[in-house]
Amino acid sequence: MTNPLFRDPSGNFSASKFWTNVAYATATYVVIMNANATNWELLLVYVATVGGSEVAKKFLSMRYGAATGSSAPSPPAPQRNEPRL
């Protein structure tokens, strides 16, 4: 059974979610290990990596609406005009 952090909405394992969380964990580890150093560039890269990717995902889902759970409204279903018998 996989962790909910690594599942898609249907409950299956999602490789993209897995690698996204691995990247976030790695970036967080690097920032924590260098917490005593006053390295603003490292912090800026961390914020851009973690925060920027979420902003980019939201923008793309709103712009193109192809992602599940996007905030863009779905188009109405086409109505079929079938002849009555």
pLDDT at 56: 83
Place of tokens 């990247």: 23
pLDDT at 75: 63
11 torsion bin: left (phi>0), alpha (psi -120 to 50), beta (else):
left
pLDDT of the chain, 85 residues: tens digit per residue = 556 777 877 888 888 888 888 888 888 888 888 877 767 788 888 888 888 887 887 888 888 875 455 455 566 666 667 666 6
Record the pTM: 0.54
